[in-house]
Amino acid sequence: MIDIFKYTIPLDDWIAVAVEWLVGNFRPQFQAIKMPIEVMLNAIDDALLWLPEEIVLLAFLIIGWKTAGWKVGLFSIVSMAFIGFTGLWDETMTTLAMVISAVVVCVLIGVPLGILSSRSDRFEAVLRPVLDAMQTTPAFVYLVPVVMLFSIGTVAGVIATIIFSMPPIIRLTNLGIRQVHPELIEATYSFGATKRQVLWKVQIPLALATIMAGLNQTIMLSLSMVVIASLIGAGGLGVPVFEGLNSLKVGLAGIGGLGIVLMAMVLDRITQAMGTKEEQE
């Protein structure tokens, strides 16, 4: 039998060369991308850590209560206080800062991309495989180029998180806008609306519930990624999990994991309520 795989494609070498070429020639540009994220992340992180714990807990109570009712408010304050009592308050605040920074960037980039792809079938066709790749590539795979381009640390972790968690908000923005009933669009045009008016007065408001569902998923994905990001030196709740894994401290890994789960539940309930609230109106 002939071994048809005797000759292999040196794809691994090509990728290595490509990344090295990027690193060699564009590292300053990539470092520049880091800048605004770093500024935002540090500001949020500093603020959360500077604020007295009671104020942050109270904020969770009020936000949860206002958006999703007193039950969620109560659940939020109890969960966050519980995390604090396990001794992981500072890590939790860092994780929260990472998630907020990552999600802000995801929204700033993802919503416009979603709008664009809702307006152009061709753009959507090009974007779709990219989004598939972003979502399915194992997170560990792009940690390597991220480290090479952005070096290690919390900011690099946030960048990896952004890449991993952006697809849902793009997809659901696109979907939400495309789902707006064509009769409504036609009616809007019939009254002499411009394209921009159609977008802002009809498409975005009616897609908002779906966009919020995308935001919710983006937050959930980013929470799962910040743990992995601790592999490349990012701080936060991933650190105790990673440490626990390395030195078989099952208790440490356990409280770290529990902290992430509780925070995920709190953020999920709050953002989900935001989405359904839009829908009810």
Partner 1 sequence: MENNSTSPQERLRVESAFKIFGGDPEPAFKLIQEGKKKDEIYKQTGLTIGVHDASFEVYAGEIFVIMGLSGSGKSTLVRLLNRLIEPTSGKITLEGQDITQLDTKGLVDIRRKYMSMVFQSFALMPHLTVLQNAAFGLEVMGVAEKKRNERAMDALKQVGLDHVARSYPKSLSGGMQQRVGLARGLSVDPDIMLMDEAFSALDPLIRTEMQDELLKLQEGSTRTVIFISHDLDEAMRIGDRIAIMESGRIVQIGAPEEIMRNPADEYVKAFFRGVDPTNVYKAGDIATKTQVTFPLHKAGLRAVRQRLNEFDREHAYVLRKDKQFVGVVSLAKIQATLEDETINSQDISPAFLEGIEPVHEEATLQEILPKLTSYECPVPIVNSENIYMGTISRHLFLKTLSREANIEETKTEETS
- Our finding on whether 206 is near partner 1 (CB under 8 A) is yes
The rounded distance, in Å, linking the Cα atoms of 111 and 127 is 13
Q: Is 281 strand, coil or helix?
A: coil
Q: Tell me if 179 contacts partner 1 by CB under 8 A.
A: no
- C-alpha dist (Å) from residue 205 to 104, 169, 181: 19, 15, 13
Cβ 84 to partner 1, closest distance in Å?
39
Number of residues that bind partner 1 (CB under 8 A): 18
186 binds partner 1 (CB under 8 A): yes
Candidate list 189, 224, 245, 264; residue touching partner 1; CB under 8 A: 189
Question: How many CB atoms are located within 10 Å of the residue 248 CB?
Answer: 8
Of the candidates 136, 191, 246, 248, which one interacts with partner 1 according to CB under 8 A? Answer: 191
Phi and psi at residue 129, to the nearest 5°? -65, -30
Work out how close the CB of 187 gets to partner 1 at its nearest, in angstroms, rounded to a whole number.
Answer: 4
Say if residue 114 is exposed, middle or buried (CB neighbours under 10 Å; 0-12, 13-18, 19+). buried
Q: How far apart are CA 36 and CA 106, in angstroms?
A: 14
Stretch that binds partner 1, among 7-15, 76-84, 160-168, 189-197 (CB under 8 A): 189-197
Query: Is residue 196 part of the contact set for partner 1 (CB under 8 A)?
Result: no
Determine if 205 is a binding residue for partner 1 (CB under 8 A): yes
Tell whether residue 181 is a contact of partner 1 (CB under 8 A).
yes
- Dihedral of alpha carbons 168, 169, 171, 172, sign: positive
Is there binding between residue 201 and partner 1 (CB under 8 A)? yes
Q: Does 187 participate in binding partner 1 (rule CB under 8 A)?
A: yes
Interface contacts to partner 1, rule CB under 8 A = 181, 183-184, 186-194, 197, 201-202, 205-206, 281
